[in-house]
Amino acid sequence: MEKKKLIRLAIQAMERSYSPYSGFRVGAALLGKSGQIYQGCNIENAAYTPTNCAERTAFFKAVSEGEREFEAICIAGGKDGVLTGFTAPCGVCRQVMMEFCDPETFQIILARSESDWREYRLKELLPEGFGPGNLA
């Protein structure tokens, strides 16, 4: 996996964020097992609750294109698009990851730049997660 490329694509996706209400711009780049990369940005709404996070935008794009297995996601975000801190996925997005990813291996990369990033496995960010296996 080319981490720098994934980071670059997440930061690029952030530029397309539609976030007039919070001003918090987020971009994501999701690597499928096919090798295809899906970009996503947060898309806000005047009614607030229909807002979609960057991560879920990327996942829903990918799944709707037929990809269901994933290796890694990179997330970059900040107020007015300034990458001051590391933007971690919200609880709802972690749960969507749990649906399609192996918590032991799926990598979540939080990036401030191509050389400044942190990396986690899904099981670290969603311990004891509830997933499809529980219903099997």
Active site residues: 55
The two three-digit tokens of residue 33, written as one number = 């097992």
CB 74 within 8 A of CB 9: yes
According to the binding rule CB under 6 A, does residue 53 interact with ligand THU?
yes
Phi, psi torsion values for 135, nearest 5 degrees: -100, 0
User: What Rg, from alpha-carbon coordinates, does the chain have?
Assistant: 14
According to the binding rule CB under 6 A, does residue 1 interact with ligand THU?
no
The piece of 8-16, 51-59, 102-110, 114-122 that touches ligand THU (CB under 6 A) is 51-59
According to the binding rule CB under 6 A, does residue 74 interact with ligand THU?
no
18/34 with CB nearer ligand THU: 18
According to the binding rule CB under 6 A, does residue 39 interact with ligand THU?
no
Closest distance between ligand THU and the C-beta of residue 12, in Å?
A: 15
The two three-digit tokens of residue 48, written as one number = 């607030």
Cα–Cα distance measured from residue 1 to residue 63, given in angstroms and rounded to the nearest whole number: 20
78/131 with CB nearer ligand THU: 78
According to the binding rule CB under 6 A, does residue 122 interact with ligand THU?
no
Closest distance between ligand THU and the C-beta of residue 18, in Å?
A: 8
* DSSP letter for each residue of 45-107: -TTSTT-B-HHHHHHHHHHHTT---EEEEEEEEEETT---S--PPPHHHHHHHHHHS-TTT-E
> Which one of 31, 76, 89, 106 is in contact with ligand THU (CB under 6 A)?
89
DSSP 3-state of 134 = helix
- Binding residues for ligand THU, rule: CB under 6 A, are 19, 22, 24, 26, 42, 44, 51, 53-55, 75, 87, 89-90, 93
